[in-house]
A and B are shown apart, each in its own frame.
Chain A
């Protein structure tokens, strides 16, 4: 600790923090331009110069560390005059075109000149002009170099946090211009973080351009609806119309950053395919009708369905709030007396051979999931990222990792299918195929067992010997490069006290997903016993996957992971809800489809999912859905599945719902509606509650406040939380039990076979996530053409060239897309993003077969 005196106030601060931080910690503000909390110090704007006793010159407070006994003055005549002079210098060549500048009203230069002067201009020569007209760097960033103050925040943001290195400075001295050069802009993420950090109107948001003035905007703080990172966004509307999204530098896990989807992608809320009125199928055609007619029709159909005693199932998208999802499962369990509730179509929930995915997942999520903030999880010695592609699926988590890596020395290991942008920062990288995750984990476990004393493991787990033999030999056979990766990773783990595991949601898509999760269990258990501090966090690409499971949108567990055979748990809900609950485990969505195909299912209630487009095997799902007695689809958009429904209920998006999301960290954050439901559509919770009221059942919550009260009362991780006290950073949910599991799974680990065949994988890309992003006009403009990405040499083998139209063929089907070739893309893998509706990618997949073998042919 150091004691310093700032403006005659003595204060004790941490050693070596900057004078600026020390001053701000006691409420003394020093103006800055080039300073930005998470970026490297530049000290170039010279606005933060202060006087230090004993030093001849004024010193930049943003980079000068405090020293014990330092006497600092931030308000002497010399300092005040220096600030005025620096601002006068900046203004000398500034165009002063505030009346036509988008930034006016929230411009740091305006604010600062207003506060610190100068009051008059002395510059009378010709101003420097880089160009007469603003120009676009790309479709979302527009630029005016004449206004630039050379703070380089954009350049540092792009390089240090985003990692894109799209921006740089060209020229020298007064003619320095921040822009892209050579081909750097081709690598632009279009995240717009450069716009966010620009203090003046030099880099501007093109879709927002000239649409509003900041003072005309009504702003609402809410949570981004795209991925599970759960970024805080501030949505600005003018006269009820969406104008822009921005981030706030001091709020949320994301601070000043967002990804392209969050900043530019929420205009999906005004997509033309929003359902405007409820629809009922008449003479095999969906007809828009009034709500009254819908309810009448639904009441009739529901009583027939319930009367038929045929099983009913539910499928809800994790894009909905906790309150909606809680209400949905309550509706399913109390009205339809079913546990057949699922929240995902893409996960490989059951392959018939291994235990059900939700069985193993439920344990890990309820007992071992970390529920600590990302920054706490990164306060660690080693990080393993496994499965998925963090750069594409959770860009802001990727930024946070990059930032952390620049600040401290932690070992990073990445095993992923496709290249990520963090590869260059990693100690070791391995490219695997979906399904190989369990083999990798077995190899890691084998390595750990081989290099540690195992007496304590032997004592703890009664099946340790069996387990040891089962993993013996894993990890070195077959796959090139895996042996080295495992060796590095094991030595990284052995030399670390604290280890954080980030598991991509894509791991759950592969065949053998449940085996992978079992091996993950084993790894955590063994590391626990070896006295390592282990954090585990999933990286989902949906905003509320963890929340959906917490809420009990699972076939085998009640809310809060209470097991169906736990009579206390079941009793709790039966008492609170006032009904008896079914005790048999329900079906996951795959089983529902299988049973429906056999004509066993009575009805299905689908909330916001579109299995016709996403279920691997389009024929199976179409056949199964057509055999239902009643298909209810509640959605904001007229999806392919909604087109097959008997009744379509026009629901809402995140923009019209109030409630909460639980992000990947287990952080509960408030979602605030800012948009009025389109035409006759309603808030989702109101629809669900009305559906319940049509039956003889007890009421389900009719507002998110009611639902949240029940959640607080009944679901362990949420107990004790006060909704009103949740601030911009949300609040952490907590794990009910955190004791380590005393068993090891001994699954059969088979050595992966890598044939020459090309394997097709899918997933998110930077610009799109599922089918939601394609409804955003801005995102669609950024990437509207499907493509298949393969390695350059594979392309040569198939005799195709970059940019060419090709056919990607399986045994029974094919699709036509453009081919993209990359040098760093792994060999033997073909990637087609999963978002393009028109491609109907699920024609190529068969359930349980992931990845699928494909061939590429010239058109």
Chain B
């Protein structure tokens, strides 16, 4: 029987307060780490657990940590990426608002492993409650000696600060996050050098997602093998899925990695709210290409979804029933990416503008012959040529829609209206 770890405190009275967290075994992992582990052993533990980053890319966390130079004279930084902005995703928000100490403990342990003295939480500007909760939690943790100088009597010290973003989706990209944290325009930086070598203030930096860091205390307490035994071998562990759209019970669900999409929607979401048939599902936030109903038996883990031509991304599942106009969905998604494009590189800035102009026209019934082919061609011209993954993500979502629902686009061109409505 799967037992919740990440969301186990959610729903308890005042779960965000430190006493509540401590009463359920909170900060035990930090105590254990400071007593029993060297930083190297800790990194090895995380490597052994096969934890992969929960922000979307699924990069092995232990490996990322091990890239940071060991030179003790270099300042090193840890940034928690809490700029959760992918439409359809709201898992980090749950942790931040309901169980902020889990994140703080995870960050303290990660900082110990990497040799960080100053850590930052870059939180999405709109998360006002979350930011306040974090500030309160941090000050509680300082008072109890879990943060600050000589934590729990050890030689390990850590200062943790919260930085609120100013409303740019791109700042969830790690290098843009770093630029923004430094006070510059939120635009991605060229890699290499990777942040692990030259990141914040040109010093070694690790950027990890909220959910990733929250897994750390559990791995420490329950062991790498416990973590590895949950879900598929190559992407194991508990995963928080966000369920939204035309579904009866939307919300966050902590389940093992690798459950099927159908199981998630039918067992936990209890099917569509309208009772109508499902038309399409976006499995991992709007950057992830959608599946038609026939694709719902896919396993929700990094590798299976990638093999099926989509991605797990942030685990934001959006369900659409048969009344949905896919052209309208694609238009809305592209408008989002166009609006959020930082403007740095040509294909994303100009390409998405062009694509969105065509789609808006198409959707409103002013499509022209050749528009669909032009869209496909523009997708090819954008894909793989952008500076960062934002443009690629936009194109992938549109390509997904065109792949499975091309006839709807052609119908819009031919009839000047929608098949569904």
Q: Which residues of A contact B (CB under 8 A)?
A: 41-47, 49, 56-58, 60, 63, 65, 81-82, 85-86, 88-90, 92-93, 122-126, 128, 149-150, 169, 171-176
CA distance A124 to B339 in the complex (A): 21
Closest to B170 in A: A172
Closest to B391 in A: A46
Task: Report yes or no: A43 in contact with B387, Cβ–Cβ below 8 A.
Answer: yes
CB-CB under 8 A from A44, the residues of chain B are 344-346, 387
Task: Report yes or no: B343 in contact with A172, Cβ–Cβ below 8 A.
Answer: yes
Task: Report yes or no: A89 in contact with B190, Cβ–Cβ below 8 A.
Answer: no
Known: A41-B190, A174-B338, A176-B343. Is A89-B350 also a contact (CB below 8 A)? yes
Within 8 A of A (CB), among B115-171: 168
From A85, A149, A150, give the contact of B385 (CB < 8 A): A85
Task: Report yes or no: B361 in contact with A125, Cβ–Cβ below 8 A.
Answer: yes
Please tell me if B276 contacts chain A, counting CB pairs below 8 Å: no
CA distance A278 to B357 in the complex (A): 70
Closest approach, in angstroms, between the C-beta of A63 and any C-beta of chain B? 5
Task: Report yes or no: B346 in contact with A43, Cβ–Cβ below 8 A.
Answer: no
CA distance A126 to B341 in the complex (A): 20
Please tell me if B381 contacts chain A, counting CB pairs below 8 Å: yes
CA distance A175 to B190 in the complex (A): 22
Task: Report yes or no: B353 in contact with A93, Cβ–Cβ below 8 A.
Answer: yes
Task: Report yes or no: B386 in contact with A46, Cβ–Cβ below 8 A.
Answer: yes
Q: List 26 A-B contacts (CB under 8 A).
A: A42-B190, A43-B190, A43-B387, A45-B346, A46-B347, A56-B384, A57-B384, A57-B385, A82-B381, A85-B347, A85-B381, A86-B346, A86-B347, A88-B381, A89-B346, A89-B381, A124-B368, A125-B354, A125-B357, A125-B358, A128-B353, A169-B185, A169-B343, A173-B349, A174-B350, A174-B352
Closest to B368 in A: A124
Please classify how large the interface on chain B is, using the bins under 10, 10 to 19, 20 to 34, 35 or more.
20 to 34
CA distance A125 to B361 in the complex (A): 9
CA distance A262 to B192 in the complex (A): 39
Closest to B337 in A: A173
CB-CB under 8 A from A47, the residues of chain B are 346
Task: Report yes or no: A89 in contact with B342, Cβ–Cβ below 8 A.
Answer: no
Closest approach, in angstroms, between the C-beta of B118 and any C-beta of chain A? 23
CA distance A56 to B192 in the complex (A): 16
CA distance A63 to B175 in the complex (A): 16
CB-CB under 8 A from B386, the residues of chain A are 46
Closest approach, in angstroms, between the C-beta of A58 and any C-beta of chain B? 6
CA distance A149 to B349 in the complex (A): 10
Known: A43-B190, A93-B353. Is A173-B338 also a contact (CB below 8 A)? yes
From A58, A89, A175, give the contact of B354 (CB < 8 A): A89
Please tell me if B374 contacts chain A, counting CB pairs below 8 Å: yes
CB-CB under 8 A from A60, the residues of chain B are 190
CA distance A57 to B395 in the complex (A): 15
CA distance A691 to B351 in the complex (A): 71
Task: Report yes or no: A46 in contact with B343, Cβ–Cβ below 8 A.
Answer: no
CA distance A160 to B91 in the complex (A): 41
Closest to A123 in B: B354
Most chain A C-beta atoms within 10 Å of own C-beta, residue among B350, B352, B368: B350
Task: Report yes or no: A174 in contact with B374, Cβ–Cβ below 8 A.
Answer: no
Known: A58-B384, A85-B381, A173-B338. Is A90-B346 also a contact (CB below 8 A)? yes
CA distance A63 to B361 in the complex (A): 38
Closest approach, in angstroms, between the C-beta of A594 and any C-beta of chain B? 60
Task: Report yes or no: A46 in contact with B350, Cβ–Cβ below 8 A.
Answer: no
Please tell me if B340 contacts chain A, counting CB pairs below 8 Å: yes
Closest to A171 in B: B343
Within 8 A of A (CB), among B192-215: 192
Closest approach, in angstroms, between the C-beta of A736 and any C-beta of chain B? 46
Closest approach, in angstroms, between the C-beta of B114 and any C-beta of chain A? 26
Within 8 A of A (CB), among B308-356: 338-347, 349-354
Task: Report yes or no: A174 in contact with B341, Cβ–Cβ below 8 A.
Answer: yes
Q: How many A-B residue pairs have CB under 8 A?
A: 92
Most chain B C-beta atoms within 10 Å of own C-beta, residue among A56, A86, A171: A86
CB-CB under 8 A from A122, the residues of chain B are 374
Known: A122-B374, A150-B346, A172-B168. Is A82-B338 also a contact (CB below 8 A)? no
CB-CB under 8 A from B346, the residues of chain A are 44-47, 86, 89-90, 149-150
Closest approach, in angstroms, between the C-beta of B375 and any C-beta of chain A? 11
Closest approach, in angstroms, between the C-beta of A79 and any C-beta of chain B? 11
Closest to B381 in A: A85
Closest to B185 in A: A169
Task: Report yes or no: A92 in contact with B354, Cβ–Cβ below 8 A.
Answer: yes
CB-CB under 8 A from B350, the residues of chain A are 89-90, 92-93, 174
CA distance A171 to B340 in the complex (A): 11
Closest to A177 in B: B343
Closest approach, in angstroms, between the C-beta of B172 and any C-beta of chain A? 15
Closest approach, in angstroms, between the C-beta of A505 and any C-beta of chain B? 37
CB-CB under 8 A from B344, the residues of chain A are 42, 44, 150
CA distance A58 to B339 in the complex (A): 25
CB-CB under 8 A from A176, the residues of chain B are 343, 349
Closest approach, in angstroms, between the C-beta of B49 and any C-beta of chain A? 28
CA distance A651 to B368 in the complex (A): 71
CB-CB under 8 A from A175, the residues of chain B are 343
CA distance A45 to B345 in the complex (A): 5
CA distance A739 to B338 in the complex (A): 67
Within 8 A of A (CB), among B61-113: none
Closest to B339 in A: A173
CA distance A92 to B347 in the complex (A): 11
Closest approach, in angstroms, between the C-beta of B367 and any C-beta of chain A? 12
CB-CB under 8 A from B368, the residues of chain A are 124
CA distance A128 to B354 in the complex (A): 10
Task: Report yes or no: B343 in contact with A150, Cβ–Cβ below 8 A.
Answer: yes
Closest approach, in angstroms, between the C-beta of A446 and any C-beta of chain B? 34
Closest to B383 in A: A57
Closest approach, in angstroms, between the C-beta of B250 and any C-beta of chain A? 30
Known: A46-B345, A150-B346. Is A86-B385 also a contact (CB below 8 A)? yes
CA distance A42 to B354 in the complex (A): 23
CB-CB under 8 A from A150, the residues of chain B are 343-344, 346, 349
Interface mask (B366-410 → A, CB under 8 Å = 1, otherwise 0) = 001000001000000100111100000000000000000000000
Query: Could you list 15 further interchain pairs (A-B, Cβ under 8 angstroms) beyond the known A150-B343, A174-B352?
Result: A43-B387, A46-B345, A56-B384, A60-B190, A63-B190, A82-B381, A89-B350, A89-B351, A89-B354, A90-B350, A125-B358, A128-B353, A169-B185, A174-B350, A174-B353
CB-CB under 8 A from B168, the residues of chain A are 172
CA distance A171 to B186 in the complex (A): 11
Closest approach, in angstroms, between the C-beta of B198 and any C-beta of chain A? 13
CB-CB under 8 A from A126, the residues of chain B are 357
CB-CB under 8 A from B341, the residues of chain A are 172-174
Closest to B386 in A: A46
CA distance A174 to B348 in the complex (A): 9
Closest approach, in angstroms, between the C-beta of B381 and any C-beta of chain A? 4
3 pairs of A and B residues whose beta carbons are closest in the complex: A85-B381, A89-B350, A176-B343
Closest to B357 in A: A125
CB-CB under 8 A from A88, the residues of chain B are 381
Closest approach, in angstroms, between the C-beta of B349 and any C-beta of chain A? 5
CA distance A136 to B387 in the complex (A): 32
CB-CB under 8 A from B353, the residues of chain A are 92-93, 128, 173-174
Closest approach, in angstroms, between the C-beta of B183 and any C-beta of chain A? 13
Closest to A45 in B: B346
CA distance A362 to B14 in the complex (A): 83
CA distance A93 to B356 in the complex (A): 13
CB-CB under 8 A from B358, the residues of chain A are 125
Task: Report yes or no: A173 in contact with B340, Cβ–Cβ below 8 A.
Answer: yes
CA distance A125 to B357 in the complex (A): 7
CA distance A86 to B348 in the complex (A): 10
From B352, B374, B387, give the contact of A46 (CB < 8 A): B387
CA distance A49 to B346 in the complex (A): 12
Closest to B343 in A: A176
CB-CB under 8 A from B340, the residues of chain A are 173
Closest approach, in angstroms, between the C-beta of A200 and any C-beta of chain B? 13
CA distance A126 to B357 in the complex (A): 9
Closest to B360 in A: A125
CB-CB under 8 A from B387, the residues of chain A are 43-44, 46
